[in-house]
Amino acid sequence: MPVASRFAACAPSVRLFAIAAVAAIALSGCVTKPPAPPPPPPPAETGTVPTHPLTENKPTFLNLANIPSDHTPVRVGIILPFNSSVAPVKALSAAMLKAAQLAMYDAGNKDILLMTADEGATAESAEAAAVKLLDQGAEIIVGPLYAPSVRAISHEARDRGVPVLAFSTDRNVAGDGIYLLGFLPEYDTTRVANYALAQGRHTFAALVPSTAYGDVTLDALKGAVTAGKGEMGEVQRFAGTVDTVLAPATTMAKTDADALFVPLGGPVLRAAAPTLGTAGLNRDKVKLLGTGIWNDPANTQEPTLSGAWFAAPDPKAEASFDDKYRGAFGANPPSLAALAYDAIALVAVLAKGEPYKRFTRAALGDPNGFSGVEGIFRFAPDGTAERGLAILTLGADGFHVVDPAPTTFVKPGS
């Protein structure tokens, strides 16, 4: 369904930008002509003031033979570890570039010019990649993949006033013109905790690894439970390995809480879950809760996880993008490919504005957000991506949606 018709019934004040997985990209059907991007906020709100801002098209910027010299294309820099010595990382980078090209094709905007540079394996190589793209006239940068690389390019990007849409999930590198497209575990945690509270769960226990991921998710759980006037019960921490999870899982099987948060994935989750079951977890009383790392088909075969809840994108939305990518390239996409698609699709939406004034912080930070191939998202003031996630449950026949993902950030009555 074309984007314009999908949003035709919404109120005129809503500026939900749409990035459709199967259709051309357009503004919401609430408008017939894209408005100019709002002016940037005053300097006090923008953070670092660029000292060498890109303000005009220059002859030294990268151009193609078929682009008139007096025309300004939408130059988009892409930084990924294209030449990584690690084969899976190199393959991931190639797939993400394909997804970006697919988004450009779907947008139908022939003005978009993708320019690539290799992230390399060091902060220095990432910074050099950013300098290369900025010198070629990039108005916006997509990537890098890793947090140290994002940190390394941030100074150069801010110095030119060029925003960065990065793929890291380390919120410490976000903000002041650096935006993270990745799924952050604290948003998964908050979503599933809020849903559990709404379903009458009151006391929460947690089995959490002593890792950075565990720290982030536990903090988010405590914050959500406190805000929802619930209670935190026992918390068991462990080293985060299969061998070290068994004893604390046995202990937590006897919890008096009515919700047990288990932010584990892979073999560690599949070791903890049966241990909880055999140790006597009362599944009639205690609801197991997880995060997006539960989104692994192998977990559906674990009986103890049957009926548990976790937050993730709607499986149908993911399947739709997978089908589209597979149809174009004859292979299944890696999970991060959808983020690369969204990045370029978002660029295409905002590219309708005036050159060098279209990717403003006000435009990227629109509180109404955007609609990506895996659901709606918007950038919070700190540069992280808040996403509209569904609540899924597990069964032997797969994942099922028990609470749909929201389709708008506009709250009823607002």
Q: What is the mean pLDDT of residues 258-272?
A: 97
Cα distance between residue 354 and residue 231, in whole Å: 51
Q: ω before 144 within 30° of 0 (cis)? A: yes
Q: Is the pLDDT of residue 1 over 90?
A: no
Banded pLDDT at 413 (limits 50, 70, 90): low
Task: Read off the tokens for 387.
Answer: 């996403």
pLDDT reported for residue 71: 85
Q: What is the mean pLDDT of residues 65-91?
A: 93
pLDDT reported for residue 414: 57
Banded pLDDT at 48 (limits 50, 70, 90): confident
Q: Is 396 helix (H, G, I), strand (E, B) or coil?
A: coil
Q: Are 220 and 247 in contact (CB under 8 A)?
A: no
Strand-pairing partners, residue 206, are 235, 261
Pairing of strands 370-372, 140-142: unpaired
- For the chain, the 3-state helix, strand and coil shares in percent, each to the nearest 5, are 40, 20, 45
Cα distance between residue 377 and residue 370, in whole Å: 5
Q: What is the pLDDT of residues 148-162, one digit of tens each?
A: 999 999 999 999 999
**In the β-sheet with 178-180, what is the strand arrangement from edge to edge?**
112-118, 74-80, 140-142, 164-166, 178-180
Q: Is the pLDDT of residue 23 over 60?
A: no
Q: Is the pLDDT of residue 30 over 70?
A: no
pLDDT reported for residue 15: 27
Q: Is the pLDDT of residue 43 over 80?
A: no
Q: Is 256 helix (H, G, I), strand (E, B) or coil?
A: coil
Q: Is the pLDDT of residue 180 over 60?
A: yes
pLDDT reported for residue 243: 96
Specify the residue for token string 């394996």.
Answer: 121
Average pLDDT score, the chain: 88
Query: Percentage of the chain surpassing pLDDT 90?
Result: 84
Between residues 66 and 348, the one the model is more confident about: 348
Q: What is the pTM of this model?
A: 0.85
Q: What is the pLDDT of residues 297-323, one digit of tens each?
A: 999 999 999 999 999 999 999 999 999
The residues, any chain, with a CB within 8 Å of residue 197's CB and separated by 6 or more, are 224, 225, 228, 230
Q: Is the pLDDT of residue 50 over 70?
A: yes
Give the gyration radius of the chain's Cα atoms.
22
Beta-sheet strands, E only, within 62-211? 74-80, 112-118, 140-142, 164-166, 178-180, 203-209
Q: What is the mean pLDDT of residues 359-378?
A: 95
Neighbours of 285 (CB within 10 A): 11
Q: How far is the CA of 115 from the CAs of 66, 71, 251, in angstroms? A: 16, 17, 54
Q: What is the pLDDT of residues 234-248, one digit of tens each?
A: 999 999 999 999 999
pLDDT reported for residue 17: 34
Burial class (CB in 10 A: 0-12, 13-18, 19+), 325: buried
Cα distance between residue 220 and residue 186, in whole Å: 5
Q: Is the pLDDT of residue 18 over 70?
A: no
